[in-house]
Amino acid sequence: MKDAIMKILSVAPMLALLASLISLPACAADGRPAPMPPVNPDNALYIVQVEPGVTHEDIVISLDSAAQGKNFVSPATF
């Protein structure tokens, strides 16, 4: 029993070290999004850049799901 406890206690610091090493790249990232382009009140279109590989359908689905989420009525809001 004592050997099992000692084995667990020796594994825990290694797991903590591994977790910290894995999280270092995330901490090193800048994390700030690119600034949004200015709004042109004379034009109804708002053009923004998207990540490579994002399709028109991906954007439409994303906007649709966001709109549905904002229109969701919960009984808790009454």
Domain of 32, in residue numbers: 2-73
Domain membership of residue 52 (yes or no) is yes
Domain membership of residue 78 (yes or no) is no
- Reported as a pLDDT band with limits 50, 70 and 90, residue 73 is low
58-65 average pLDDT score:
84
* pTM attached to this predicted model: 0.34
Number of domains in the chain: 1
User: CA dihedral in degrees (58, 61, 62, 65; nearest 10)?
Assistant: -160
